[in-house]
């Protein structure tokens, strides 16, 4: 009996050591593309593991407040060099699971985090889960298409191989995009804004509040103080204010469409209410929908996109708040007709949305990028960047004097101004295919103009400059 107990203990110890070694060798993204839903603890563990595995590219973060029931709001920040804050590195973000029972987005972001760092590491790899999917897709052709068994077999092989090659090419193109994104952009992914709702499988948070009706609203409650908002809303607003996000999307479920501002309408009527950057919003929405077949073919929405108020009026939403208070252009993405689909369907949602997610983030390359300095070369923060014909302005970042003005292709008159400086005006040619125009600005102070006048020479009015420089990265 003693020998048996000793043997059993030895076997248990060996098994425990083997499990420990396997766990030590496990990678953060092992099996993630085929996995089921991650609960809150698993999301935290995933973010920690990804940061350990890719310390140069990944930083795990938690927002400043926890959920109503004390759960962390966790995400990851991704960059070519996560430790360095670089000039001309625009920030973008995705936020998922704002409504707890709308679940696809949180798992898409887990997969997106893995995809970005893995493809950056080696973007020529072909992902095994896509190969498996291609095997399944090779059987979608109906026998009714052909009559001759020999001809049928030959033609099916030919079409399957063509489809396989097309998907290989698409994978390589997406991998190139992912690597480019991580090289040029700082990407933040908040996996779940509403972990309490997810764990309870309900829309509202732990206090039974709909978080997408909880933000200050330009029409109904523009001066709503932060302390009257839910913990989750307060934490997200602080996070956004502490950063300089340029482009964003929040992920929902219940339909399949890309929704853009405004969501609200001054008289509460369901009708089109375009924001000042309506053309850019439509370009962003189209960039997402055009690569998602189900969205693009949704019979309810032409081209898979909709103005929010034209669909239904919503007050207190996060999308409009981002644009008004943070100069961040945000979409609301409805990704599944079923709000909480079975976990077995998640790989299909990933394949349906992967290219769309990457393409939308690449929209940050559209428009004009630049740095504003004074005549001594010191960055000028909080300068106002205006575009003729668009009432919305953006401001330069405080430390580097950077600005990112998203614009559709065409000629635009852009001005940069700040109290104490002469206004700078330029005609800029914004190109196509995510090729932003670079336009750096030197602002000359009013005191310099006064000095010129004192010497008897009137300081000239700054000329209207024309800039045709494009930069693809």
Q: What are the DSSP calls for 340-362, one per residue?
A: S--GGGHHHHHHHHHHHHHHHHH
Phi, psi of 116, deg, nearest 5: -65, -50
Torsion of CA 445, 451, 452, 456, to 10 degrees: 160
Based on the number of CB atoms within 10 Å of its own CB, is 279 exposed (0-12), middle (13-18) or buried (19 or more)? Answer: middle
Residue written as token pair 């191989």: 161
CB 97 within 8 A of CB 318: no
Q: What is the helix (H) or strand (E) element at residue 393, kind and residue range?
A: strand 390-395
Q: How many whole angstroms from its chain centre is CA 62?
A: 17
Q: How far is CA 342 from CA 109, 127, 132, 252, in A?
A: 17, 23, 19, 16
Q: Which is nearest to 388 in space by CA: 369, 420, 409, 415?
A: 415
397 among known catalytic residues? no
Give dist(CA 256, CA 332) in Å, integer.
11
Residue burial 354-387, b: 16+ Cβ < 10 Å; e: rest: bbbbbbbbbbbbbbbbbbbbbeeeebbeebebbb
- The residues with which 247 forms a beta bridge, in sequence order, are 92, 329
Give dist(CA 209, CA 240) in Å, integer.
21
What are 13's two structure tokens? Answer: 């110890």
Give dist(CA 307, CA 259) in Å, integer.
6
CB 421 within 8 A of CB 378: no
Choose, from 89, 232, 330, 334, the residue flagged as catalytic.
Answer: 334
Q: How many whole angstroms from its chain centre is CA 326?
A: 15
Based on the number of CB atoms within 10 Å of its own CB, is 197 exposed (0-12), middle (13-18) or buried (19 or more)? Answer: buried
Q: What is the helix (H) or strand (E) element at residue 76, kind and residue range?
A: strand 74-78
For the annotated catalytic residues, the residue numbers are 334
């Amino acid at each position: 009996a003693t020998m048996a107990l000793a043997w059993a203990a030895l076997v248990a110890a060996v098994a425990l050591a083997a499990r420990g070694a396997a766990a030590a060798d496990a990678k953060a993204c092992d099996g993630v593309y085929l996995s089921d839903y991650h609960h809150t603890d698993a999301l935290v563990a995933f973010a920690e593991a990804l940061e350990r595995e890719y310390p140069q590219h990944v930083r795990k973060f938690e927002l400043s407040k926890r959920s109503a029931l004390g759960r962390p709001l966790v995400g990851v920040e991704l960059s070519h060099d996560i430790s360095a804050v670089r000039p001309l590195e625009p920030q973008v973000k995705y936020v998922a699971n704002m409504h707890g029972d709308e679940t696809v987005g949180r798992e898409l972001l887990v997969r997106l985090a893995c995809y970005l760092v893995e493809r950056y590491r080696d973007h020529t790899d072909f992902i095994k889960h896509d190969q498996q999917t291609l095997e399944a897709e090779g059987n979608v052709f109906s026998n009714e298409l052909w009559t001759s068994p020999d001809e049928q077999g030959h033609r099916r092989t030919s079409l399957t191989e063509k489809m396989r090659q097309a998907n290989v090419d698409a994978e390589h193109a997406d991998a190139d995009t992912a690597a480019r994104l991580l090289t040029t952009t700082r990407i933040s992914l908040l996996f779940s804004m509403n972990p309490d709702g997810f764990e309870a499988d309900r829309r509202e948070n732990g206090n039974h509040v709909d978080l997408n009706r909880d933000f200050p609203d330009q029409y109904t409650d523009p001066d709503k103080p932060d302390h009257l908002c839910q913990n989750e809303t307060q934490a997200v607003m602080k996070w956004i204010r502490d950063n300089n996000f340029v482009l964003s999307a929040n992920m929902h479920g219940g339909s399949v469409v890309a929704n853009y501002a405004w969501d609200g309408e001054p008289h509460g009527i369901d009708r089109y209410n375009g924001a000042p950057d309506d053309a850019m919003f439509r370009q962003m929405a189209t960039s997402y929908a055009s690569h998602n077949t189900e969205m693009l073919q949704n019979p309810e929405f032409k081209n898979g996109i909709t103005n929010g108020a034209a669909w239904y009026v919503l007050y207190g939403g996060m999308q409009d708040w981002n644009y008004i208070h943070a100069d961040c252009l945000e979409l609301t993405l409805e990704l599944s007709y079923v709000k909480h689909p079975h976990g077995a369907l998640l790989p299909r949602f990933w394949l349906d949305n992967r290219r769309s997610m990457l393409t939308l983030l690449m929209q940050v390359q559209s428009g004009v990028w630049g740095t504003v300095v004074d005549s001594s070369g010191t960055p000028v923060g909080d300068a106002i960047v205006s575009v003729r014909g668009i009432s919305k302005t953006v401001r330069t970042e405080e430390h580097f004097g950077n600005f990112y003005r998203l614009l559709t292709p065409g000629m635009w008159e852009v001005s940069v101004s700040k109290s104490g400086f002469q206004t700078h005006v330029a005609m800029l040619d914004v190109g196509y295919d995510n090729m932003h125009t670079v336009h750096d600005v030197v602002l000359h102070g009013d005191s310099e103009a006064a000095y010129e006048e004192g010497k008897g020479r009137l300081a000239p009015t700054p000329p209207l400059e024309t800039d045709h420089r494009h930069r693809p990265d």
